[in-house]
Amino acid sequence: MIHEPRVYREFVDIGRRTYFKVRVKETDLFVHARKNLESLTRDLVLKHRSYIEGYIRDNPDFATSLAPLQSVGPAPAVIRDMITAGQSAGVGPMAAVAGALSEHVGRELLACSPEIIVENGGDVFIKADAPLTVALFAGRSPMSLRIGLRIDASREATAVCTSSGTIGHSLSLGSADAVCVVSSSCALADAVATAVGNRVRSVADIQQALAFGRRIKGVAGVVIVKGDKLGVWGNLELVPITLKRSASAPAVGIK
C-alpha cells in the first residue's frame, strides 16, 4: 500500500496538550492528550482493528461492498457503528472505518485524559475544554488551509471528517477537493463525507450534494470545496486562518 504524507500535521497549535503518533498497518493516528498515552493508544488500535479484521474473515463482503450491508449476527460496537453509518449514507461500511476507529479509540482514551483529539487520515474525534479551529485541507484548491471550522467540543465530543476526490488514497467516485462533515458520530461523518463527495464531479453539483447531506439524520453541517468554489450548509462557524508551521509539531513523514 502507498502511504500518504500527512502534510497538514505540520500546522498544529499544541497548546497545553502533548502529541504523539501511532501507526498500525493502514491506521495512522495523530493524537493530542494531556499526557502521553501512546502505549494505551496502540493497544486500543490493535483491539479495534482485530474486531474489524476478524469480522472481515467471517464476512468478506464487509471489506469490499460499496453498498450498505446488514449486520450478520452479534458484532462489536465498532462494526455496528460502521454498518449503521453506511446504511445512513448509502455507502459500504468501510467508508466509515477511519472515523469509527478515531471515535472508539478516542472515547476510551477519555478515561485517562479530559481532552482528546484523534486524527486518522483527516477524520477527527474532538473532546476539548475550549473551542478550537480545525483547518480545512483541500489539496491544490486556493482555499486549502485558508479557512477553518470553529468547533466547540467542550460539552460533548464532536466529529469533523473530510473526504477528497483529488488527494489521498481513499476511494472517492467524485472530484471534490474536500468534503467536510460535522456530526456527533465520527463513523457517520466519515461515511457521509464519502457519500457527498461521490456526488461532486463539477461545481454545478455542489448544491445538490449539500442537499443530500443535509437530509441525513445526525449530520450537523457540510462544507464542500471544489477549486475556488465553496458550498456550506449547517450551523457552522467558518473562519479565515493564516497558518504557520509549528515548531512543536512533528515533522511530516511517510508512514
Would you place residue 167 in the very low, low, confident or very high pLDDT band (cuts 50, 70, 90)? confident
Q: Distance between CA atoms of 93 and 77, rounded to whole angstroms?
A: 13
Burial of 247 (0-12, 13-18, 19+ CB in 10 A): exposed
Other C-beta atoms closer than 10 Å to the C-beta of 9 total 19
Fold of 15-240: T-fold (3.10.520)
Q: Give start and end residues of each alpha helix (H) in the chain.
A: 38-58, 61-64, 77-89, 97-109, 186-198, 206-214
138: which 3 cell numbers? 483541500
The sheet carrying 132-135 orders its strands as 132-135, 147-151, 237-240
Each residue of 92-122: pLDDT tens digit?
Answer: 999 999 999 999 999 999 999 999 999 999 9
Mean pLDDT, residues 167-175 taken together? 76
State whether residue 36 is helix, strand or coil.
coil
pTM of the model: 0.89
pLDDT above 70 as % of the chain: 87
Location of C-alpha cell 467540543:
153
Would you place residue 255 in the very low, low, confident or very high pLDDT band (cuts 50, 70, 90)? very low
- What's at 170, amino acid-wise? S
Q: Using the Cα atoms of residue 40, residue 41, residue 42 and residue 43 in order, give the sign of their dihedral.
A: positive
User: Which residues, 6+ apart, have CB-to-CB distance to 170 below 8 Å?
Assistant: 98, 121, 163, 164, 194
207: which 3 cell numbers? 448544491
111: which 3 cell numbers? 478515561
CA 74 to chain CA mean position, Å: 26
Other C-beta atoms closer than 10 Å to the C-beta of 16 total 9
At residue 71, the pLDDT reads 87
At residue 252, the pLDDT reads 26
- What's at 215, amino acid-wise? R
Would you place residue 3 in the very low, low, confident or very high pLDDT band (cuts 50, 70, 90)? very low
Q: Distance between CA atoms of 215 and 209, rounded to whole angstroms?
A: 10
pLDDT above 90 as % of the chain: 82
**Is residue 7 over pLDDT 80?**
no
Which phi and psi angles does 102 have, rounded to 5°? -55, -45
